[in-house]
Amino acid sequence: MTEAAGQFITPVTMQALSQRPVYGSQWDARADNNMLHINLSREADACLIAPASADFMAKLAQGRADDLLSLLCLARPRQTVPLLLAPAMNREMWSHPATQRNMAQLRADGATVLGVGQGDQACGETGDGRMLEPQELLDDLVAFFQPKSLMGQQVLITAGPTYEAIDPVRGITNLSSGKMGFAIARAAREAGAEVTLVAGPVSLATPRGVRRVDVRSARDMQAAVAQQVDAATVFIACAAVADWRPAVAADQKIKKDGSGQAPELDFVENPDILAAVAQSARALSRALYCVGFAAESQDLLANAQAKRTRKGVPLLVGNIGPATFGQDDNALLLVDEAGALELPHNSKLALARQLIANIARRIRAGGQNDGH
């Protein structure tokens, strides 16, 4: 902790909350060799300064080392201990040319400057400059250490269910929670890709750094994908899109009439988003790697193989829908023309990272969107 940090929360409080020793002085006698700035930096996997004040970033940009924290940052082995900064300051301080100049210098020196939040500030003003929330910092730190296997790729992902209206208060949907697709979006972003997520009606939080487009029906999803797909190099169709929709949605709520007879509903088939995207990419000879999903209730391998051929995509990911909808874990079956690879039961995020790594290897190997 810096001296300024000790004005906001005492070292005793920080130590009690963290159950970790707290250091604040380069003259701390607990170090046998009196070289805390060396010892602490050699033990670290990374240095994350949170919050990083305007003053402390200026100090780092100038190479000053007049307290333990700045000493530690300057003395750390730069090739093995990365420096990450989470700025926090008043909006005017954040936008000041000196602060922006210091940030540019820090980046040039190899530091990673994370973003800032926007909103109410301690001074009573509102704007950019808030420190990111702790969970956001943790997500960014975890993402920092993930292999950047999709760097330079533009990934478009669909996730969640669709909702097909019967009348203004009723509709047809399914049990998909969207968790697998959201996990894939996070994993793709961690792998360095620019990610756009087209999400059906779910209440999940948007993964850090992911651009989100909310939709409702299958036709809404089709339109959103059509708007985004031209910029994509990878398309992952994870959404559980309804196969059918009512031919006509009633303008008003359909009420019981006391006859005991249910109303007759005519259905029409929804568009096949994945097949259409894959077919268009082949026709235009576009370098778009397409991945489909199959949520089955039985005969997973056979159904997934048939669906992969029918959709005309190089990779089809299968799972047993009733066993995973709404859950935080899953098991996946990756099916291509050569056979199948099972990804055993694990958390959806762990599986998403495995899937993204697998897709990245296929892209590097020159996989095309022709089923081969």
Tens of pLDDT, residue by residue over 306-361, are 999 999 999 999 998 888 888 899 999 999 999 999 999 999 999 999 999 999 99
pTM to 2 decimal places: 0.89
Do residues 116 and 176 both lie within one domain?
no
Domain boundary at 144, 168, 200, which?
A: 144
DSSP 267-322: EEEPP-HHHHHHHHHHHTT---EEEEEEEESS-HHHHHHHHHHHHT-SEEEEEEHH
User: Is there a domain that residue 372 lies in?
Assistant: no
pLDDT at 369 over 60: no
pLDDT at 367: 52
Domain count, the chain: 2
Angstrom distance (rounded) from CA 240 to CA 294: 8
Beta-strand ranges (E) seen in the chain are: 47-52, 83-87, 112-113, 117-120, 126-130, 154-159, 164-167, 170-172, 194-199, 211-214, 234-237, 244-246, 267-269, 289-296, 315-320, 329-336, 339-347
Q: Determine which of 28-37, 39-48, 198-207, 312-321 has the lowest per-residue pLDDT on average.
A: 28-37
User: Is there a domain that residue 303 lies in?
Assistant: yes
User: Is there a domain that residue 371 lies in?
Assistant: no
Do residues 112 and 176 both lie within one domain?
no
Do residues 40 and 168 both lie within one domain?
no
Q: Are strands 194-199 and 244-246 parallel, antiparallel or unpaired?
A: unpaired
Residue 215 φ/ψ, nearest 5 degrees:
-135, 175
Percentage of the chain exceeding pLDDT 70: 98
pLDDT at 34: 77
User: Is there a domain that residue 370 lies in?
Assistant: no
Q: Determine which of 15-19, 41-45, 181-185, 195-199 has the lowest per-residue pLDDT on average.
A: 41-45
pLDDT at 135 over 90: yes
- CA distances (Å), 11 to each of 6, 17, 20, 263, 344, in order? 6, 10, 10, 69, 45
Q: What contacts 23, CB < 8 A, 6 or more positions away?
A: 1, 30, 36, 40, 68
Mean pLDDT of 95-123: 94
Angstrom distance (rounded) from CA 193 to CA 291: 16
pLDDT at 39: 87
Output the domain CATH number for residue 80. Answer: 3.40.50.1950
Tens of pLDDT, residue by residue over 225-263, are 999 999 999 999 999 999 999 999 999 999 888 888 888
Strand partners, 343: 332
pLDDT at 370 over 70: no
User: Is there a domain that residue 345 lies in?
Assistant: yes
pLDDT at 207 over 80: yes
User: Is there a domain that residue 83 lies in?
Assistant: yes
Do residues 120 and 167 both lie within one domain?
no
pLDDT at 285 over 90: no
Angstrom distance (rounded) from CA 123 to CA 130: 11
pLDDT at 139 over 80: yes
**Which runs of consecutive H residues, i.e. helices, occur in 44-96?**
54-62, 68-75, 91-95
Q: Share the mean pLDDT of the chain.
A: 93
Do residues 179 and 240 both lie within one domain?
yes
Output the domain CATH number for residue 213. Answer: 3.40.50.10300
Do residues 120 and 169 both lie within one domain?
no
Do residues 337 and 250 both lie within one domain?
yes
Name the more confident of 372 and 40.
Answer: 40
Do residues 178 and 308 both lie within one domain?
yes
Report, as residue numbers or ranges, the catalytic residues: 123
Q: Hey, is 133 helix, strand or coil?
A: coil
Domain boundary at 100, 120, 144, which?
A: 144
Do residues 215 and 345 both lie within one domain?
yes
Helix 54-62 with 97-108: angle, nearest 10 deg: 50
Q: Which residues of 193-216 are buried (b: 16+ CB within 10 A; e: fewer)?
A: bbbbbbbbbbebeebbbbebbebb
> Do 327 and 349 touch, CB atoms closer than 8 A?
no
pLDDT at 372 over 60: no
Do residues 200 and 347 both lie within one domain?
yes
Do residues 218 and 292 both lie within one domain?
yes
pLDDT at 371: 40
First to last CA, the chain: 56
Domain boundary at 124, 144, 164, which?
A: 144
Mean pLDDT is highest, among 122-131, 138-147, 318-327, for: 138-147
Do residues 171 and 90 both lie within one domain?
no
Q: Domain residues for 336?
A: 154-364
User: Is there a domain that residue 107 lies in?
Assistant: yes
User: Is there a domain that residue 149 lies in?
Assistant: no
